Structure formats: structure tokens, C-alpha cells
Amino acid sequence: MSKTFVITGSTRGIGRGLARELLARGCRVAVSGRSAAGVSSAVAELGAEFGVERVAGAACDVADPEQVRELWRTAADAFGPVDAWVNNAGASAERKPLWEQSDEDLRRVVESNLTGTLFGLKIPVAAMIEQGGGQVWMTEGFGSDGAAQAGMAAYGATKRAVRYLRKALLADTAGTPVQVGTLSPGIVVTDLLTGDYDPASEQWEKAKRIFNILGDRVETVTPWLAEHLLAADKPGSRIVWLTRRKAFARFALAPFRKRDLFARPA
């Protein structure tokens, strides 16, 4: 059965890959990102591949509630009822101690990852209750499980909040036709993952070794995520790509399995 999805932060990276995989499975998708030009390009490219009638989009700063409402209206006007809203938009900052982070970077990370998720729950949940049902999804990341790492205070804190929000929203939506769930895509090679490292640094070389063991490319992860999103049918669903068992197995096989996710195509 085809469904209508709204995916924030979907002009590139995991969001773009997820939009493409859902479209490939017959769904309708509204894409979004901060850049109007980026949204227009994504809509044009995906529409050319899957049909313009199944792709819509709107520029959206998720920290601005009016822009989030406009994104909902864009999807509803194009497709009718929205079956699922995926809060995927996120931001990170250069990995360094909290007191060395710029005020602007801290504000950007919190506004995108936390404030944006709050509005990306509040607004679609209200609309879904009115329309008679739907699903809202949040995206986990480093820190969601309580792990901590130097240089990750702001990002990790915002992602830790996702676990609390899941519990709180499950309580809030009990007795309503809205289902709340979380996505955990694991370590995926995107600009969000690599952009806050100095590629000439020792820190990057150490991180890259771990990424090559535990990480994956967008085109590996997003088909699996799309299939599980479409199959999810109960409140509180967690869709987890990199399970503890899978991580343990990859570390065990690492000496025998050489991977280079960062190699440039020939």
C-alpha cells in the first residue's frame, strides 16, 4: 500500500536516500531542507525519476513553527492525508570542548536537533489527530543511548533527548490514533558525519578506522529503513540498523574484512 511521507532534511544524505527508496516503493514524498534551491533541485530530480505527481517539497527551517506548518500544508495540498512524518533534519558542530564552541554553533545544533524536533512533533501530531491518524518518527544519533565522547556535548545532549521524547510522546498520544516511533540509522557516511572533522588531523584518522568497521553508505542503509518504516504498525516502534549484535560481529570480523567507505570512485 502506498503511503504519503514528509521527510525533513531530505535534500541530501540519509533523508534524500530515504525519500528515494520510499518513492521506489510506490509512496508519495514531500521533501524539505533549508535551501529553496536545494529543495527545487531534489523535487525536479526525484520527480523526473518517479513522477512529478508523487513528489512535492518546501524549504523549511524546522526551528520555525510557521515553516513547519507550511511544510505540512504543502504535503496535504499535494497528496491529501499525511501518513508519516519523519524528523530527520539535523546539525552538528566541530568536535571540540563545549567552552570552545561558538555561540552560533551551539544555537544551530540545539535549534535544528531539539527545537526542530519539538515542532516536528507538535505540529504533525495535532494535524494527524484531526485527520484521524498517522505516524511521527524521530531520528536517533550519537548520545541517544547515553554514550558520551569528548567534543560531542551539544550534539549528544540533543540526541539523548530523543529517547525522552519517545517516552513522553507515547504517554501524550495514548488513546489517540497517532503512533510515535524512532529511527536509528547507525553510522552513515554523510556530510553530517564527516563535516566536523579536520581531514588532516590525527583525530580524523582514528575516527575513520572506527567508521570503516561500523559505518555504512546511504545506499546500503536506506532501503532497509524504508522497508521497516512501511512495515511498522504499532506505537513505540524502534527501527535500529546497527544493533549491538551487529556491531560486535563487525569488530570480530574487522581483521579479516577490509573496508574503505571513503575511497573515491575510480
Q: Which neighbouring-strand residues pair with 178?
A: 134
| Contact between 241 and 226 (Cβ < 8 Å) | no
Could you tell me which of 46, 44, 41 has the C-alpha nearest to residue 18? 46
Which residue's C-alpha cell is 570480530?
A: 252
Which residue's C-alpha cell is 520510499?
A: 22
Q: Is 264 helix (H, G, I), strand (E, B) or coil?
A: coil
* Amino acid 198: pLDDT: 61
Q: Which neighbouring-strand residues pair with 240?
A: 184
- Residue 155 catalytic? yes
* Amino acid 204: pLDDT: 66
* Amino acid 200: pLDDT: 66
Contacts made by residues 61-66, CB under 8 angstroms, sequence distance 24+: 61/34, 61/116, 62/8, 62/9, 62/87, 62/89, 62/112, 62/115, 62/116, 62/117, 62/119, 62/120, 63/111, 63/112, 63/115, 63/116, 63/119, 64/119, 65/119, 65/122, 65/123
Which residue numbers in the chain have pLDDT < 50? 266
Alpha-carbon distance of 131 to 9, in angstroms, equals: 24
Alpha-carbon distance of 59 to 113, in angstroms, equals: 17
Per-residue pLDDT tens for 116-171?
A: 999 999 999 999 999 999 999 999 999 999 999 898 999 999 999 999 999 999 99
Contacts of 196 (CB under 8 A, 6+ apart): 92, 93, 94, 95
Q: What number of other Cβ atoms are within 10 A of residue 219's Cβ? A: 11
* Amino acid 189: pLDDT: 83
| Contact between 50 and 26 (Cβ < 8 Å) | no
Alpha-carbon distance of 111 to 129, in angstroms, equals: 25
Each domain of the chain, given as residue ranges in start order, spans 4-188+217-248
Pick among 3.40.50.720, 3.40.50.1010, 3.60.15.10, 3.40.50.1240: CATH of 4-188+217-248: 3.40.50.720
Given the residues 79, 85, 137, 155, the one annotated as active site: 155
